[in-house]
């Protein structure tokens, strides 16, 4: 392997791709980072942009700025459409290609509607900044339209928000939205009482936060219900449209539907013509390489990786970062002439979810926390992983202000007219 000319292409500037690139600082390689967006996004706080607590600039950073001191890294704003494995080239949508010696695909995930992609215009998910501002616009527009609506039934539908999916994203959205309606917006309208807003969390399983210990799920459910959230369990959604959502045999008239029920991998498996699981994640080798192509690695939400107990590694930021570091270490070993197998071993740091501005649940396995103390620990953990002092300070001040006053500053309706299809 010619170290001086070894060229690595990284597709995706998320947690996995960025951690991989950082871990290779000082290695004798050239790196090209390709992403269709110019920013790295801190996805765990995306729901707070959607619910007016934070501004977009507080959870996203330009990739070029983050890598400005890395002279060995070239950043390209481009859209990847395929991989030519025999020729070792990444194909771009403008017809050009980028050659590689080693390729890392860290392309993340997209929304999954379980075969009903026609629901997406009516039930947006939450994966990008564009998604967050779309959700924020729809929520705020619903209140504005309700202020003008004179028909009681239509007004109630405008004041009903349905959230599909009882995982961490759904729980966090539900708790924050009900506080937005009951506290932040209270008294700002003349024809409606925003405290009449109904937030309904719909989960097909028998409990919310299914990945948490049962007692933490029970706590979260009771905490949400105390806030005023209605929780519907055990009935899967069978229809989403402009009139509302159908789950089981029940129809809920709701002008705003938010999707937090499932994700599918990016098209990395399609690009590689590689075997994939039902969610589209590439079935990688134990060292995270692609079968038959040891020079290609897949990490994060695009990779199907199993723990020793055969459970899949969760699609969370810590997992993607661990995988990025592991591939970087493997590549360094190869450059030094060590080609021995290096299986990836995932270390689960724990599960966290917040419930409004005063409670959270934390499951570290060896310790489980709920309530106010868990909320503070959740906040400290998220602030720690933000990039840069300015963002840590801005987010801290925003949270303290919301905690003390209930007011949220990012209540802007942007991006023009909303169109649900």
Provide the domain count of the chain: 2
The catalytically annotated residue of 58, 172, 203, 232 is: 172
Same domain, residue pair 231 and 158: yes
Q: Locate tokens 């055990």: which residue?
A: 234
Q: Domain ends where: 261, 277, 311?
A: 261
| Predicted confidence (pLDDT) at residue 220 exceeds the cutoff of 50 | yes
Same domain, residue pair 256 and 268: no
Over range 17-34, report the average pLDDT. Answer: 97
Confidence bin at 263 (pLDDT 50/70/90)? confident
Q: Locate tokens 């709920």: which residue?
A: 370
pLDDT tens across 252-262, in order? 999 999 999 98
Closest-CA residue to 220 (of 80, 374, 76): 374
Same domain, residue pair 137 and 256: yes
Same domain, residue pair 127 and 86: no
Over range 174-196, report the average pLDDT. Answer: 95
Closest-CA residue to 21 (of 74, 58, 60): 74
According to the model, what pLDDT value does residue 419 have?
A: 52
Q: Tally the residues of the chain.
A: 421
pLDDT tens across 351-378, in order? 999 999 889 999 988 899 999 999 999 9
| Predicted confidence (pLDDT) at residue 412 exceeds the cutoff of 90 | no
According to the model, what pLDDT value does residue 403 have?
A: 77
The answer as to whether 327 is a domain residue is: yes
Compare 92 and 393 and report the one with higher pLDDT.
92
According to the model, what pLDDT value does residue 74 have?
A: 97
The answer as to whether 203 is a domain residue is: yes
Over range 320-339, report the average pLDDT. Answer: 97
Over range 84-112, report the average pLDDT. Answer: 97
According to the model, what pLDDT value does residue 349 have?
A: 86
Instruction: Output the domain CATH number for residue 90.
Output: 3.50.50.60
pLDDT tens across 37-72, in order? 999 999 999 999 999 999 999 999 999 999 999 999
| Predicted confidence (pLDDT) at residue 13 exceeds the cutoff of 50 | yes
The answer as to whether 364 is a domain residue is: no
Over range 239-251, report the average pLDDT. Answer: 96
Least confident of 152-161, 204-213, 410-419: 410-419
- Domain limits for position 160: 117-261
Same domain, residue pair 246 and 124: yes
According to the model, what pLDDT value does residue 5 have?
A: 85
3-state SS of the chain is: CCHHHCEEEEECCCHHHHHHHHHCCCCCCEEEEEECCCEEECHHHHHHHHCCCCCHHHCEEEHHHHCCCCCCEEEEECCEEEEECCCCEEEECCCCEEECCEEEECCCEEECCCCCHHHCCCCCCCCCHHHHHHHHHHHHHHHHHHHHCCCHHHHHHHCEEEEECCCHHHHHHHHHHHHHHHHHCCCCCCCCCHHHCEEEEEECCCCCCCCCCHHHHHHHHHHHHHHCCEEEECCCEEEEECCEEEECCEEEECCEEEECCCEEECCHHHHHCCCECCCCCEECCCCCEECCEEEEEECHHHEECECCCCCECCCCHHHHHHHHHHHHHHHHHHHCCCCCCCCCCCCCCCEEEEECCCEEEEECCCCEEEHHHHHHHHHHHHHHHCCCHHHHHHHHHHHHHHHHHCCCCCCCCCCCCCCCC
Same domain, residue pair 253 and 317: no
| Predicted confidence (pLDDT) at residue 421 exceeds the cutoff of 80 | no
Instruction: Output the domain CATH number for residue 123.
Output: 3.50.50.100
Confidence bin at 414 (pLDDT 50/70/90)? confident
Confidence bin at 420 (pLDDT 50/70/90)? low
Compare 384 and 140 and report the one with higher pLDDT.
140
Same domain, residue pair 178 and 277: no
Same domain, residue pair 107 and 145: no
Same domain, residue pair 122 and 178: yes
According to the model, what pLDDT value does residue 209 have?
A: 97
The Cβ of residue 151 has, within 10 Å, a number of other Cβ atoms equal to 9
The Cβ of residue 398 has, within 10 Å, a number of other Cβ atoms equal to 19
Q: Domain ends where: 318, 336, 354?
A: 336
Q: Domain ends where: 261, 281, 308?
A: 261
Same domain, residue pair 151 and 191: yes
Q: Can you state the angle between helices 371-385 and 389-405, rounded to 10 degrees?
A: 150
Over range 196-218, report the average pLDDT. Answer: 96
Task: Give the mean pLDDT of the chain.
Answer: 93
Active-site residue 172, yes or no?
yes
Same domain, residue pair 131 and 79: no
According to the model, what pLDDT value does residue 2 have?
A: 45
């Amino acid at each position: 392997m010619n170290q001086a000319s070894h060229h690595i292409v990284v597709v995706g500037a998320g947690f996995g791709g960025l951690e991989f690139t950082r871990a290779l600082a000082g290695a004798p390689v050239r790196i090209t980072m390709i992403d269709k967006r110019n920013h790295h996004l801190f996805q765990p706080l995306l729901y707070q942009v959607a619910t007016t607590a934070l501004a977009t600039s507080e959870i996203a950073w330009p990739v070029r700025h983050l890598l400005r001191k890395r002279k060995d890294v070239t950043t390209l704003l481009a859209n990847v459409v395929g991989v030519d494995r025999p020729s070792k080239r990444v194909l771009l949508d403008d017809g050009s290609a980028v050659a590689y010696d080693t390729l890392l695909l860290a392309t993340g995930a997209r929304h999954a509607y379980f075969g009903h992609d026609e629901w997406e215009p009516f039930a947006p998910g939450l994966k990008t900044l564009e998604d967050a501002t779309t959700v924020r616009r729809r929520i705020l527009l619903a209140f504005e339209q309700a202020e003008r609506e004179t028909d009681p039934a239509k007004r109630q539908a405008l004041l009903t928000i349905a959230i599909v999916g009882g995982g961490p994203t759904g729980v966090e959205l539900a708790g924050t939205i009900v506080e937005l309606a009951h506290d932040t917006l209270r008294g700002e309208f003349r024809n409606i009482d925003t405290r009449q807003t109904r937030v309904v969390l719909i989960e097909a399983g028998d409990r919310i936060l299914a990945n948490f210990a049962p007692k933490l799920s029970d706590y979260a459910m009771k905490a949400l219900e105390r806030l005023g959230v209605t929780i519907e369990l055990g009935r899967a959604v069978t229809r989403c449209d402009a009139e509302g959502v159908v789950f089981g045999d029940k129809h809920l008239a709701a002008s705003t539907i938010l999707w937090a029920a499932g994700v599918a991998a990016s098209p990395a498996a399609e690009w590689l013509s590689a075997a994939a699981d039902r969610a589209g994640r590439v079935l990688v080798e134990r060292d995270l390489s692609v079968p038959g192509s040891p020079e290609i690695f897949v990490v994060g939400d695009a990779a199907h990786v199993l723990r020793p107990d055969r459970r899949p590694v969760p699609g969370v930021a810590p997992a993607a970062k661990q995988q990025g570091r592991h591939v970087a270490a493997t590549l360094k070993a190869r450059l030094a002439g060590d080609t021995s197998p290096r299986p990836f071993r995932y270390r689960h740091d724990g599960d966290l979810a917040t419930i409004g501005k005063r409670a959270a649940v934390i499951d570290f396995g060896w310790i489980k926390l709920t309530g106010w103390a868990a909320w503070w620990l959740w906040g400290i953990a998220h602030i720690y992983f933000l990039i840069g002092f300015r963002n840590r300070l801005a987010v801290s001040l925003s949270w303290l202000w919301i905690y003390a006053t209930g007011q949220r500053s990012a209540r802007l309706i942007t991006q023009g007219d909303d169109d649900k299809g």
